[in-house]
C-alpha cells in the first residue's frame, strides 16, 4: 500500500484508521526531523456532523496545551484532504497496553488515573467535556518515561454541569447510561467513562462487556449491579473510587471536585513540576526554621515537603536525577528524625500541628495530615531508607510481587512469596536499631 505525499513531511507508516481518517507516523523534512503523527481526513467522506466535529477538534486542540493532552502541532489542507499534525506517542494506546499485560497492578492503574485526572482537571477549568474517553483514545509516551495523554477530541464540546444535551456521542461500551438511554446529560458523562476505564485497567475487561449493542443496552437499562471479579483484590480507597464513578444515576455519581480530591488519586501530591517547586519551597522554609532553632516547625515543614518529594522520586525515570533526589530525600528524612527527637517527649500528638499561638499569623502553624495515614508514602519512604541494605531491598521487591499475585487471585504463589519476603524481613527487624526505619519496617511486617 502506497503512502500519501504530504508537503514538508516524509510519511513512514500507517498507525491507525477511523471512519473518515487515517493516521500515519511521519517526520519533518527540515533539519529537526521531528517524528510526528499525521491525521489525514478525506474531505469527500465527511458528513455535515463530521465536519462540525473536525472544526471543533481543531479549535479545541489549538487552545488546549497540557502535559497529559496530545499536542496539536499544525494543521493544513489540500484539495482532497485535511491534515492534523499531532505529537507522536511511541507507546501506542492504553487499550493495547492492557491487552498485553492482561490487567494492571493497582499502583500502575493509580498512576494512569492520576495523569488522566490532571488532564480532566485542566479540561474542566476550560469548560470542556471530552465525551469519548476510552482506552483507545488514551495514548502512551514511553520515553523518557511512561506517560498517559488524552487524545482524539472529535466528540469534545464546551459543556458545563448545568447544560443538557441529547445527542449520542462516543463509544457505547464506555458511554454513560444517561447518554446511552437518550436521557438528559451533562459533563458528568466523562466520570462514568473514567470508571469503566479504571475497571478495565484493574480487571482486564469492561464491567458490561457484551457481545452486541443490544445486550449492552439491556444491561444498562436494567441498571445491573456492577461487581468486581470474585478473585480480585483491590485496596479500600481504590474500590471506593471505582464504585463512586460507576453510579448509574448521575445525581449519585461522584462530583468532579470529589473525584479530584479523592485519596486514591492524591492529586495534591502528584509528581508535577508545580509540586516539585512546592516541595523545594517547603524545604527552603524548613532550613530557615531549623537555623532559627524552631525544631517543631522545621520538622513539620520537612514532612510536608517529603509528601511531595516521594511521588516525584518514584516517578523519576532518569537514573542520575533519581539518585541525586534519593540522597536529598534521605537527608531530609534523617534531619526530620533528628528534629522529632528534640521535641517528641513534650508532644504526644506528633501527627498534628498545634493551634497557632499568634492568631494574627494563622498560616504559620496549621494542621497537616499525618504521614502515617498514607501507606503508599510510608512504603516508599521505607524503600528509600532501605537502599543501604541489599537484603531488605530484595525482600521488599518480593513483597511487591506477592501483592501482585494476591491481586490476580493466585493465593498459592502469594503465600509462597510472602513467606519468602517475611523470612528476610523478620530477622532484619530483630536486628534493626530504634529509629524511623525500624518503625516503618515494623509496620510493613505486620501488614
CB 93 within 8 A of CB 148: no
- Note the pLDDT of residue 351: 44
Give residue-wise pLDDT tens across range 376-412: 566 667 777 777 787 787 788 787 777 766 655 565 6
92-268 CATH pick, 1.10.357.10, 3.40.50.300, 1.25.40.340, 1.10.510.10:
1.10.510.10
- Note the pLDDT of residue 344: 64
Q: Give the catalytic positions in this structure.
A: 132
Which phi and psi (to 5°) does residue 146 adopt? -75, 115
Residues of the chain with pLDDT under 70: 1, 160-170, 344-380, 404-415, 445-447
- Note the pLDDT of residue 123: 95
Taking phi first (over 0 means left), then psi (-120 to 50 degrees means alpha), and beta for anything else, what does residue 435 get? left
- Note the pLDDT of residue 421: 77
If we measure between CA atoms, which residue out of 396, 126, 118, 121 comes closest to residue 269? 118
- Note the pLDDT of residue 241: 96
- Note the pLDDT of residue 378: 64
Class of domain 273-343: mainly alpha
- Note the pLDDT of residue 348: 47
Domain definitions of the chain by residue range: 9-87, 92-268, 273-343, 387-446
- Note the pLDDT of residue 377: 60
E strand residue ranges, 51-206: 72-77, 81-87, 128-129, 138-141, 147-150, 157-158
273 is in an annotated binding site: no
**What does the alpha-carbon distance between residue 391 and residue 348 come to, in Å, rounded to a whole number?**
34
DSSP 288-316: HHHHTT-HHHHHHHHHHHHHHHHHHHHH-
pTM listed for this prediction: 0.74
- Domain spanning 387-446 has what CATH number? 1.20.58.80
What is the H or E stretch that residue 122 is in? helix 106-125
Full strand arrangement of the beta sheet holding 9-17? 9-17, 21-28, 35-42, 81-87, 72-77
Same fold yes or no, 9-87 and 387-446: no
9-87 CATH pick, 3.20.20.30, 3.30.200.20, 3.40.50.1860, 3.40.350.10:
3.30.200.20
- Measuring CA to CA, how many Å separate 7 from each of 30, 48, 62, 78, 250? 11, 27, 21, 10, 47
Strand partners, 11: 26
- Note the pLDDT of residue 200: 95
What is the helix, strand, coil percentage profile of the chain, to 5?
55, 10, 35
Give residue-wise pLDDT tens across range 56-108: 889 999 999 999 999 999 999 888 889 999 999 999 999 999 999 998 988 88
- Cell of residue 415, nine digits: 503465600
Amino acid at each position: 500500500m502506497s503512502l500519501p505525499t504530504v508537503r514538508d513531511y516524509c510519511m513512514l507508516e500507517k498507525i491507525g484508521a477511523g471512519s473518515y481518517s487515517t493516521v500515519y507516523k511521519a517526520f519533518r523534512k527540515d533539519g529537526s526531523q521531528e517524528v510526528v503523527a499525521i491525521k489525514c481526513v478525506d474531505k469527500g467522506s465527511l458528513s455535515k456532523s463530521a465536519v462540525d466535529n473536525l472544526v471543533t477538534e481543531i479549535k479545541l486542540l489549538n487552545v488546549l496545551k497540557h502535559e497529559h493532552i496530545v499536542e496539536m502541532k499544525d494543521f493544513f489542507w489540500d484539495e482532497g484532504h485535511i491534515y492534523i499534525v499531532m505529537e507522536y506517542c511511541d507507546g501506542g494506546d492504553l487499550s493495547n497496553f492492557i491487552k498485553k499485560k492482561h490487567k494492571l497492578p493497582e499502583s500502575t492503574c493509580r498512576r494512569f488515573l492520576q495523569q488522566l485526572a490532571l488532564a480532566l482537571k485542566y479540561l474542566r477549568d476550560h469548560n470542556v467535556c471530552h465525551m469519548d474517553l476510552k482506552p483507545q483514545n488514551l495514548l502512551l509516551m514511553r520515553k523518557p518515561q511512561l506517560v498517559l495523554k488524552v487524545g482524539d477530541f472529535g466528540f469534545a464540546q464546551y459543556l458545563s454541569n448545568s447544560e443538557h444535551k441529547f445527542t449520542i456521542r462516543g463509544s457505547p461500551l464506555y458511554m454513560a447510561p444517561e447518554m446511552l438511554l437518550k436521557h438528559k446529560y451533562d459533563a458528568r458523562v466523562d466520570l462514568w467513562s473514567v470508571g469503566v476505564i479504571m475497571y478495565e485497567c484493574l480487571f482486564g475487561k469492561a464491567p458490561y462487556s457484551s457481545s452486541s449493542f443490544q445486550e449492552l443496552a439491556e444491561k444498562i437499562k436494567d441498571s445491573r449491579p456492577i461487581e468486581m471479579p470474585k478473585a480480585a483484590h483491590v485496596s479500600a480507597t481504590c474500590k471506593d473510587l471505582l464504585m463512586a464513578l460507576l453510579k448509574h444515576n448521575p445525581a449519585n455519581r461522584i462530583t468532579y471536585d470529589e473525584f479530584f480530591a479523592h485519596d486514591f488519586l492524591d492529586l495534591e501530591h502528584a509528581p508535577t513540576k508545580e509540586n516539585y517547586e512546592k516541595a523545594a519551597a517547603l524545604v527552603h522554609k524548613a532550613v530557615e526554621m531549623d537555623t532559627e532553632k524552631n525544631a517543631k516547625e522545621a520538622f513539620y515543614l520537612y514532612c510536608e515537603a517529603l509528601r511531595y518529594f516521594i511521588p516525584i522520586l518514584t516517578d523519576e525515570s532518569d537514573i542520575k536525577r533519581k539518585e541525586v533526589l534519593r540522597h536529598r530525600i534521605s537527608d531530609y528524612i534523617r534531619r526530620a528524625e533528628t528534629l522529632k527527637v528534640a521535641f517528641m517527649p513534650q508532644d504526644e500528638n506528633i501527627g498534628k500541628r498545634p493551634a497557632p499561638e499568634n492568631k494574627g499569623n494563622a498560616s504559620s502553624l496549621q494542621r497537616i495530615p499525618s504521614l502515617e495515614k498514607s501507606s503508599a508514602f510510608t512504603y516508599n519512604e521505607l524503600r528509600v531508607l532501605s537502599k543501604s541494605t541489599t537484603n531488605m531491598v530484595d525482600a521488599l521487591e518480593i513483597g511487591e510481587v506477592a501483592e501482585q499475585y494476591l491481586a490476580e487471585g493466585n493465593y498459592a504463589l502469594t503465600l509462597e512469596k510472602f513467606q519468602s519476603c517475611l523470612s528476610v524481613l523478620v530477622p532484619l527487624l530483630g536486628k534493626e536499631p530504634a529509629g524511623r526505619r525500624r518503625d516503618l519496617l515494623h509496620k510493613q511486617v505486620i501488614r
